[in-house]
Amino acid sequence: MNLDNELELNFERTIEYAKHMDHADPLGELRKDFLFPQQNGRPFIYLCGNSLGLQPKAACEVINVQLKSWENMAVEGWFQGNAPWMFYHKTIKEMIAPIVGAKPSEVCPMNTLTVNLHLLMVSFYKPSGKRYKIIMEAGAFPSDQYAVESQVRFHGMDPADAIIEVSPREGEYTLRTEDVIAQISEHGEEIALVLFGGINYFTGQWFDMEAITIAGHAAGAIVGFDLAHAAGNVPMHLHDWGVDFACWCSYKYQNAGPGGISAIFVHEKHFEERSLNRLSGWWGYKESERFKMEKGFVPEYGADGWQVSCTQVIPMALYHASLSLFKKAGYMEPLRKKSIALTSYLFYTINQVNLALGEEYYKIITPLNSSDRGAQLSMIAKQDGKVVFEHLVANNVLGDWREPNVIRLSPVPLYNSFEDIYVAGNLLLEISKKLFK
């Protein structure tokens, strides 16, 4: 039976139903392309792809290819072989672009996430006169908070004055789009930069990026996003939405390995803006003239002009291995369809656990509406959350713990199954009954 039709049916908390859904899943075979961590001779049910994606089986192969190139060609590997290192990023760009809804010229793999955020803020945070403030979500990932604070201080300003944080309403856990837009409008003449995460790491809320971009531009501000939890998770249209810039890591939903290479997006409308500041480096110099070694920086066209250092070949090869699986899946549309089904089933399963316990021991703080979330569900444990989490891990279900009382579970459509969710839900119920009843 087609998975599309299954979405119209009522969920069931039975192993037969879960296996039936998996049998109907056209992407189910992709699971075989990944390696699952083991414990006590059994694979984990891995629900932590929002923190670190699983290793593609092709990872060792792609690394060995590059090691062989290094072994056999040494420095000539930059220009010789099947995939010369000098131009390797161009193949990657073609595969990144569909994931974030960009033109290949607008994206570039390079550096690491916070380094790229700093580089982009050098270009796009331009405080001037009374327009100097940055507006962002309260509770953004700490690295973003620290980067923004340091950028503000670099310009000689006080973060307490220059940073506006938008918080949820009292008693709520997520932001309302109308409140974000209202804050942008209220402070419009003071705002130089609107900088949000695409998806909040703690709650799993997917912000209305298009609406935020429109509001930011209407206020006369630049709009950028940290897509660490969005890239490879939800479909985006950065070019069509008119987003000015974005950056993301590749090691969460994109499975490029711990500390994997980052990537950036710069909208093509900024390519010819010579007034933009940038921290320049040799690798961002115009490619056709790079080896003339001349003074005076001339940027390569597009996002490539923001490069600073040499291509990171091994991390990029790992990214390539995972991107090949996105291409095999048909990129984001089919993955998103399955993601909605998996996460909806997880919603249902947790609610069934609460019903069986006769009380809401696990309060889901991620939005119920699928258009407001990605593959992650965050739930507040009413009591002994850390104990519950540790029991899950001890029994081969690996999610993610966040202080003080939140368990994050993330079914990733590339490798997770409905049976994973069914088994994890049953285990959660068993543990809870032993602890609380």
Residue 35 near residue 286 (C-beta atoms within 8 A): no
386 and 261 together in one domain: no
Verify that 274 and 403 share a domain, yes or no. Answer: no
305-360 residue pLDDT tens: 999 999 999 999 999 999 999 999 999 999 999 999 999 999 999 999 999 999 99
Residue 374 lies in a domain: yes
Query: Which of 270, 299, 328 lies at the terminal end of a domain, its last residue?
Result: 328
Q: What is the pLDDT of residues 13-39, one digit of tens each?
A: 999 999 999 999 999 999 999 999 999
The per-residue pLDDT for 5 is 45
Domain count, the chain: 2
pLDDT in tens, 374-401: 999 999 999 999 999 999 999 999 999 9
- Using the predicted structure, report yes or no on whether residue 96 has a pLDDT greater than 90: yes
Q: What is the DSSP letter of 251?
A: S
Distance CA 199, CA 49 (A): 14
Q: Is residue 53 one of the residues assigned to a domain?
A: no
Q: Is 45 part of a structural domain of the chain?
A: no
> Is residue 262 located within the same domain as residue 140?
yes
Q: Is residue 7 scored above 80 in pLDDT?
A: no
Entry pTM: 0.95
Position 365 in a domain? yes
What pLDDT does 267 receive? 98
Count Cβ atoms below 10 Å from residue 57 Cβ, excluding itself.
13
Nearest to 304 by CA among 76, 122, 109: 109
Q: Over the Cα atoms of the chain, what is R_g?
A: 23
Angle between helices 59-73 and 313-329 (to 10 degrees): 140
pLDDT at residue 9, rounded to an integer: 54
- Residue 247 has what DSSP assignment? E
Same domain, 148 and 254: yes
Q: pLDDT for 165-222, tens place per residue?
A: 999 999 999 999 999 999 999 999 999 999 999 999 999 999 999 999 999 999 999 9
DSSP tally for the chain: helices H, then strands E: 14, 17
Rounded Cα distance, 427 and 422, in Å: 9
CATH number at residue 423: 3.90.1150.10
Does one domain contain both 315 and 375? no
Q: Can you give the CATH number for the domain in which 321 is found?
A: 3.40.640.10
Mean pLDDT of 134-160: 97
Domain's final residue, options 283, 302, 328: 328
355 falls within a domain:
yes
> Structural domain of residue 376, as residue ranges?
3-35+331-436
Residues 295 and 383 in one domain: no
Alpha helices in 50-172 (DSSP H): 59-73, 88-100, 113-124, 142-154, 159-162
Separation CA 275–CA 241 (nearest Å): 23
Backbone angles phi, psi at 317, to 5 degrees: -65, -40
Q: Is residue 41 part of a domain?
A: no
Burial class (CB in 10 A: 0-12, 13-18, 19+), 88: buried
Residue 274 pLDDT > 90: no
Check pLDDT > 90 for residue 3. Answer: no
Both 120 and 16 in a single domain?
Answer: no
Instruction: Give domain status of residue 47, yes or no.
Output: no
Bond before 411 cis per omega within 30 degrees: no
pLDDT for position 1: 34
pLDDT at residue 10, as a whole number:
83
Q: What is the reported pLDDT for 275?
A: 87
**For the segment 414-428, what is each residue's pLDDT rounded down to a tens digit?**
999 999 999 999 999
Last residue of a domain, one of 305, 328, 351: 328
pLDDT at 239 over 80: yes
* 376 and 310 together in one domain: no
344 and 203 in a single domain? The answer is no
Q: How far apart are the first and last CA of the chain?
A: 40
Residue-averaged pLDDT of the chain: 95
Residue 75 is assigned to a structural domain of this protein: yes
Alpha carbon distance 133, 221 (integer Å):
10
